[in-house]
Structure 1
Amino acid sequence: MTESLEEGDDMAGSAPEETLAGAFERERARLVAVAHRMLGSRADAEDAVQEAWLRLARQDAGAIDNLGGWLTTVVGRVCIDVLRSRRARPETSYEDRLPEFVLTEDSGVAPEDEALLADSVGTALLVVLDALGPAERLAFVLHDLFAVPFDDIGQIIGRSADATKMLASRARRKVQGTPRPAEERRKQREVVDAFLAAARGGDFDGLLRLLHPQVTWRSYSAHGLVGRDGAAAVAERVLHGIRAVATAVPALLNGEPALVGRTRTGRLMGVVSCTIVDGRIVAILSVSDPDRLARMGLREGELS
């Protein structure tokens, strides 16, 4: 998570027998990680890195002194173009895309789970990052998550090092409220538990107290995406859907509190994830599409 541009200094020809494709493959994992945190989508990240490869193939590799830095610059600029395109076309915004999810049991955090969650992109962090401008987002991701120097970032976005530092500082202030594991996770789980109890008890007013007035619900089923906005509409949907749920097992979805629901016969219904800010639920995402659940690694009999 703290790789800098200098680590790729000798990639462009340190060994005569090393092919350009081989040098690029050694950089791929880091580039995908950068792009993933910039774009919030594994598929989009892979596309951005592939574009970098296509551009590299058209270059005179012998003229590139620092392949790692050159590729980071290209990927960064491609990501900025993608983010600007999304802002110009709101229909492709974050909330209309299903991010890649890592589902784990909520039974305490083992060391191996910490590594898994650290490598994932938390839903809450993506929501916050999506509120940043493209240049802010790039400055924050490259500097705070990958320790890229401000001078190098400034070259990517066409700003001075001081201006880039200010962008990252402004982005950092916005991100500081993003929920973290440990104690914050416990507080979030308490909110989810209270939410589930209110739903099971048919407590409409109790649900409203736990929901942000502008809460959003995005539900992905085999038939597509359905959305609801506003506390009242979401509370009504919760009270209607809870009738079919016999068991709701706590889980973590990219480190966020979630529930795996099953019917009285044990059939898997799906996963519901909550994004919580300041003790209230600001977004709910549910997935019942069998294909998407399978891609998340959830099978019948697991987390049950």
Structure 2
Amino acid sequence: MSDTSPTNLVAEAFEAQRDRLRAVAYRMLGSHADAEDVVQEAWLRLSRQDPATIHNFAGWLTTVVGRISLDVLRSRQARPEASYDDRLPDLVVTVDDSPAPEDDVALADSVGLALLVVLESLGPSERLAFVLHDLFAVPFNEIGQILGKSTDATKMLASRARRKVQATERPTVAGREQREVVQAFLAAAHRGDFEGLLRVLDPEVRLTVDTPDGVVVVLGATEVAAGAQRRLAAGAVRGRAVLVNGLPGIVSWREDGAPLSVVAFTVVEGRIAGIAVVIDPARLASMDLPDPG
């Protein structure tokens, strides 16, 4: 006989919402680990709440997850030394064995690395308003209650965030062309061809490197090109083309088979606009990487 006690019914209702709540928190925070923590905290708050006072279960949980995520974002903003995991989304590496289908990127997660990096540039309130309304269709009046703002003020926040996202989200090229741009970059890096690197880098390219000592960010084509050969080739003896969150990338290994780096490239309008590199051995060890090709 099934357990229909109030406590069990609440638990079942929460589990039915868990995947959606995790998705909301992940889009807010860009970290699967942080998203799990937020969802767990939402469960703890639910367990202390009288279910009879909750008239819209899904809405109540979304509000709680939004508020907790907002607190995390504001805390990060107050701590500029926040760790790399707070700054960039988790990287999911998959083998790129196909010749170069045109629709690889279109088949990737609809909110991939590029958008999550863009969302990092938004203020906490803007990010909440954009994510909840544009990605999860939460009404503005409910978002306003989370932010402590009027519905009109919340609409303005979402509109401002939307303009920033649209200004950054230039159309991406097709899968084959993305790979060709990345291959041109790697070839130029290995040759030490500085001019060749500049040709394939967006003037405002952003390079983010996850090191054992924390995050390092390099901005601008000249600075990125100057260090590209050292950063991408030092110590590597084997490399393999992969997809990283649906973007073209490469995994490199040392001679002893230990992973050296994971690199993801964001290509827009035929140039590399973003490069995310992981060289932290601890983080590499936590990733599900393919075997050397």
TM-score (norm 2): 0.81
Q: How does 1:5-16 map to 2 (within 5 A)?
A: none
What corresponds to 1:131 in structure 2?
121
Aligned to 2:262: 271
Contact map agreement 2:189 2:197 (CA 8 A) in 1: yes
Question: TM-score, normalized by length of structure 1?
Answer: 0.78
Contact 1:250 1:257 in 2 (8 A): yes
Q: C-alpha offsets along residues 45-82 of structure 1, whole Å, 9 cap, x if unaligned? A: 12222222222222222111111111111111111111
Task: Determine the C-alpha separation between the residues in 2 that align with 1:257 and 1:248.
Answer: 13
What residue number does 1:9 align with?
none
- AA aligned opposite 2:33: A
Secondary structure in 2 matching 1:43: helix
Q: Deviations over 1:168-207 (max 9, x none)?
A: 23222222243677x4444433321221121132211221
Query: Structure 1 residues 50 and 263 mapped into 2: Cα distance closer, same or farther (>3 Å)?
Result: closer
Match of 2:91 in 1: 101
- The residue that corresponds to 1:227 in the other structure is 216
**Equivalent residue, structure 1, for 2:163:** 173
* Aligned match for 1:208, one of 198, 202, 223: 198
Letter in 2 for 1:251: V
CA separation of 1:220 and 1:170: change in aligned 2, threshold 3 A: closer
Written as runs of structure 1 = structure 2, the 5 A alignment for 1:29-108 is: 29-92=19-82, 97=87, 99-106=89-96, 107=98, 108=100
Closer, same or farther in 2 for the Cα pair 1:295/1:111, shift >3 Å?
farther
- Quick one: distance in 2 between partners of 1:185 and 1:111? 6
Higher mean displacement: 235-244 or 140-149: 235-244
Q: Secondary structure at the match of 2:55?
A: coil
Alpha-carbon shift at residue 34 of structure 1 (Å): 0.2
Paired with 1:25 and 1:49, the residues of 2 have a C-alpha distance of 10
Counterpart-to-counterpart distance in 1, 2:58 and 2:152 = 23
Task: Using the TM superposition, name which of 75-84 and 262-271 deviates more.
Answer: 262-271
1:180-199 aligned at under 5 Å gives the runs 183-199=173-189
Q: 1:33 to 1:237 in 2, by over 3 A?
A: same
What's the counterpart of residue 6 of structure 1? Answer: none
Q: Which residue number in structure 2 is paired with residue 250 of structure 1? A: 241
Change (3 A) 1:131 1:184: farther
- Where 1:198 maps in the other structure, the secondary structure is helix
Q: Distance in 2 between matches of 1:22 and 1:41?
A: 25
- Paired positions, count: 285
- Compared with structure 1, are the counterparts of its residues 112 and 273 closer, same or farther at alpha carbon in structure 2 (3 Å cutoff)? closer
Say if 1:293 and 1:210 are closer, same or farther in 2 by CA, change over 3 A. Answer: same
1:257 is aligned with what amino acid?
A: P
Alpha carbons of structure 1 residues 206 and 168: separation in structure 2 relative to 1, 3 Å: same
**In 1, distance between residues paired with 2:103 and 2:186?**
29
Instruction: Quote the RMSD (CA, aligned, Å).
Output: 3.3
Which deviates the most, 239-248 or 61-70?
239-248
8 Å Cα contact 1:32/1:45 also seen in 2 = yes
| Equivalent pair of 1:268/1:300 in contact (CA under 8 Å) | no
